[in-house]
Amino acid sequence: MLEEQFKVRFYETDALGHVNNTVVPMWIETGRLPIFEFFGEMSPKTKSLIVARLEVDFARPIYFGSNVTVKTFVQRLGGSSFDIGTEIWQKGELCAKGKTVLVYFDFEQQGSVTLSDELRQRLNELQHPEHPIDA
């Protein structure tokens, strides 16, 4: 599992005094960036990861003044796609969670690419300690 701290910035809040809902997907995206390194050099002219789906569930407001912890982990491994789970915590409370479906994609062939055994092994190492990966 990956874990990263983010400082909540004042401009991320809205008129109600909590973090705007549009900020959470950006934290989710930033939290999963280290996973892209597993795939080496990626380019829209060769192979890359594409987002096929993004879900966000909001459990409680996130406020300015306290950092958030973004926990990122692999939930499911498919043939050419995998699911990334994300939890966003503030002051010991789960505030939001998300799921992103990523597909390994070949732009030249315009189709998905099977995940190699090496990639599957590296992704498997990022499972949540309390939630095993669905295969």
What's the confidence (pLDDT) of residue 17? Answer: 87
pLDDT tens readout for residues 16-51:
889 999 999 999 999 999 998 888 877 777 888 999
The CATH class of 2-124 is alpha beta
Render the burial of 78-101: b for 16+ CB within 10 Å, e for the rest: beebbbbbbbbbbeeeebbbbbbb
Q: Is the pTM here over 0.95, yes or no?
A: no
CB atoms within 10 A of CB 8: 19
What's the confidence (pLDDT) of residue 75? Answer: 96
What's the confidence (pLDDT) of residue 132? Answer: 81
- Whether 127 and 134 have beta carbons less than 8 Å apart is answered as no
What's the confidence (pLDDT) of residue 135? Answer: 61
Q: Which residues of the chain fall short of a pLDDT of 50?
A: none
- Whether 8 and 63 have beta carbons less than 8 Å apart is answered as yes
Please report the DSSP string for 62-114 in residue order: -BTTS-EEEEEEEEEE-SSEEEEEEEEEETTEEEEEEEEEEEEEETTTTEE-P
pLDDT tens readout for residues 23-32:
999 999 999 9
